[in-house]
């Protein structure tokens, strides 16, 4: 890879960090937001849930609408909207305005990621596309791992507005870097909306979407309640819980690198093995949940698999619709967000009925069903899978 492409990939990774940082960083400052706007923490949580819901709806539509626009201009528009929205969040005293300042960037969120993933894949030889994409996912993991504690630290030591300013500054830096370093990137072959929408007629696309939804449900249906699991099942202190959560995030970043390399070498085999391997991890989590150090070790392994899973999700959908890469990446974003929403809801239901320890069953059941759709996708499109090997 040339030094120029390496630099552009770094900017894309930093951009992914900035946008995910804005999305997930709010999780760590909900109590401070509640105090600032004089509302309950549950109401403040709408800033998280509405953002995710908006992304899942805008996922397939916005990349489609922007598919013919110069990618550099499209990314600058998105980054500019994120910066302005963060500034609005700093100065407003009205919670309704704060909600709008979250929904508007969430609408444009899929445009940046769709363009970034497509550009990363196009910046290298086709056989190395998975590795390049995995670097962008490192930014996603870093946004989740670092964004939450940094935002929480700034809010606790300075103010809620300081956290929002941090989000704005990161996105502003990426805006400037994109404007200064990226060449104009016009779309060489503009596909009509109809041509892109026609991929939805392909059974392989729907089988891929369902498999990805189940994969993400398996991961986040359990991970969303990891802190609660560690508290009520493992019985450990808040400080150790924080350490294990950071451990999971760091492992997730390692998993992104590993996933990119595995998909570059043996993509189909990697996807087939994934649900079985993660299922074993969940079975072990179920039986060793009361042992602190064993849980820490298994959480490290789990985090690596979660990082691999993120790469698999993008590959599984994009390889099903290579003729419409931007639209496919939009479908990927929508699928993973819906999977997260469904998995989290089902996980909460399992905890309410059976208890916290049994939340891992959500992951196991999701993985079992996903195997069916992975097999069907492979069986119905054997020529395509042969080409992907």
Those residues whose C-beta lies under 8 Å from the C-beta of residue 339, and which sit 6 or more positions away, are: 212, 213, 214, 215, 216, 217, 220
Nearest-angstrom CA–CA distance, 115 and 272? 28
Nearest-angstrom CA–CA distance, 162 and 158? 6
CA angle 247/250/252 to nearest 5° reads: 110
> Of 254, 27, 304, which is closest to residue 147 (Cα–Cα)?
27
Region 37-45: what's the mean pLDDT? 78
pLDDT at position 372 is 95
Nearest-angstrom CA–CA distance, 124 and 9? 10
pLDDT at position 77 is 92
Region 366-385: what's the mean pLDDT? 82
CA angle 360/56/376 to nearest 5° reads: 60
Q: Which CATH superfamily is domain 3-181 in?
A: MFS general substrate transporter like domains (1.20.1250.20)
Q: pLDDT tier at 5 (50, 70, 90 boundaries)?
A: confident
| DSSP per-residue codes, 181-232 | HPPP---SSPPPHHHHHGGGG-HHHHHHHHHHHHHHHHHHHHHTTHHHHIII
> Of 63, 36, 73, 30, which is closest to residue 49 (Cα–Cα)?
30
pLDDT at position 154 is 82
What pLDDT, in 10s, does the model give residues 240-255? Answer: 877 887 788 888 888 8
What pLDDT, in 10s, does the model give residues 133-162? Answer: 877 877 777 777 777 777 777 887 888 888
Region 344-357: what's the mean pLDDT? 84
Region 163-187: what's the mean pLDDT? 87
Cβ pair 259, 135 in contact under 8 A = no
Sign of CA dihedral 8, 9, 14, 18: positive
Task: Look over the chain and give the mean of its residue pLDDT values, rounded to a whole number.
Answer: 83
pLDDT at position 179 is 92
- Number of residues assigned to the chain: 389
The Cβ of residue 241 has, within 10 Å, a number of other Cβ atoms equal to 17
pLDDT at position 190 is 65
Model confidence at 370: pLDDT above 80: yes
First to last CA, the chain: 22
Cβ pair 263, 351 in contact under 8 A = no
Q: pLDDT tier at 387 (50, 70, 90 boundaries)?
A: very low
pLDDT at position 243 is 80
Q: Which CATH superfamily is domain 198-388 in?
A: MFS general substrate transporter like domains (1.20.1250.20)
pLDDT at position 2 is 59
Check for a shared fold between 3-181 and 198-388.
yes
Percent of the chain with pLDDT over 90: 22
pLDDT at position 222 is 86
Q: pLDDT tier at 385 (50, 70, 90 boundaries)?
A: very low
Q: pLDDT tier at 386 (50, 70, 90 boundaries)?
A: very low
Region 169-196: what's the mean pLDDT? 81
Q: How far is CA 334 from CA 118, 162, 239, in A?
A: 16, 30, 34
Region 2-13: what's the mean pLDDT? 78
Those residues whose C-beta lies under 8 Å from the C-beta of residue 114, and which sit 6 or more positions away, are: 62, 63, 326, 327, 329, 330, 333
Nearest-angstrom CA–CA distance, 169 and 143? 14
Q: pLDDT tier at 76 (50, 70, 90 boundaries)?
A: very high
Could you state, in order of their start, the residue ranges of all structural domains in the chain? 3-181, 198-388
Nearest-angstrom CA–CA distance, 65 and 191? 11
Give rounded-to-5 percent helix, strand, coil for the chain. Answer: 85, 0, 15
Nearest-angstrom CA–CA distance, 285 and 279? 10
Token pair of 68 as six digits: 């013919």
Region 151-177: what's the mean pLDDT? 87
List helix spans (H) across 92-128: 95-122
């Amino acid at each position: 890879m040339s030094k120029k492409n390496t630099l552009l990939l770094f900017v894309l990774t930093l951009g992914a960090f900035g946008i995910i940082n804005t999305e997930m960083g709010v999780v760590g400052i909900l109590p401070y937001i509640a105090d600032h706007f004089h509302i309950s923490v549950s109401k403040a949580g709408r800033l998280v849930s509405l953002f995710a819901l908006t992304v899942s709806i805008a996922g397939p539509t916005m990349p489609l609408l922007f598919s013919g626009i110069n990618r550099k201009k499209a990314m600058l528009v998105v980054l500019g909207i994120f910066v302005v929205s963060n500034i609005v969040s700093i100065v407003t005293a009205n919670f309704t305005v704060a909600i709008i300042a979250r929904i508007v960037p969430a609408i444009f969120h899929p445009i940046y990621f769709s363009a970034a993933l497509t550009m990363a894949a196009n910046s290298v030889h086709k056989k190395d596309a998975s590795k390049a994409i995995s670097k962008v996912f490192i930014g996603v993991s870093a946004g989740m791992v670092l964004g939450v504690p940094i935002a929480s630290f700034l809010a606790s030591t300075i103010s809620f507005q300081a956290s929002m300013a941090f989000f704005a500054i990161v996105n502003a830096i990426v805006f400037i870097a994109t404007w200064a370093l990226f060449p104009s990137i016009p779309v060489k072959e503009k596909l009509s909306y109809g041509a892109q929408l026609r991929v939805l007629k392909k059974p392989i696309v729907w089988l891929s979407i369902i498999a990805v939804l189940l994969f993400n449900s398996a991961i986040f249906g359990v991970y969303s309640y990891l802190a609660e699991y560690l508290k009520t099942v493992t019985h450990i202190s808040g400080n150790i819980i924080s350490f294990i959560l950071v451990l999971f995030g760091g492992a997730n970043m390692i998993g992104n690198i590993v996933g990119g390399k595995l998909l570059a070498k043996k993509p189909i085999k990697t996807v087939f093995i994934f649900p079985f391997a993660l299922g074993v991890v969940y079975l072990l989590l179920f039986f060793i949940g009361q042992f602190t150090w064993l849980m820490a070790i298994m959480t490290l392994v789990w985090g690596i698999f979660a990082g691999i899973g993120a790469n698999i999700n993008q590959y599984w959908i994009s390889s099903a619709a290579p003729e419409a890469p931007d639209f496919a990446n939009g479908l990927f974003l929508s699928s993973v967000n819906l999977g997260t929403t469904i998995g989290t809801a089902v996980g909460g239901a399992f905890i309410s009925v059976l208890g916290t320890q049994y939340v891992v069953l959500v992951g196991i059941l999701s993985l079992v069903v996903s195997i069916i759709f992975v097999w069907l996708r492979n069986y119905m499109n054997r020529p395509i899978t042969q080409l992907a090997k």
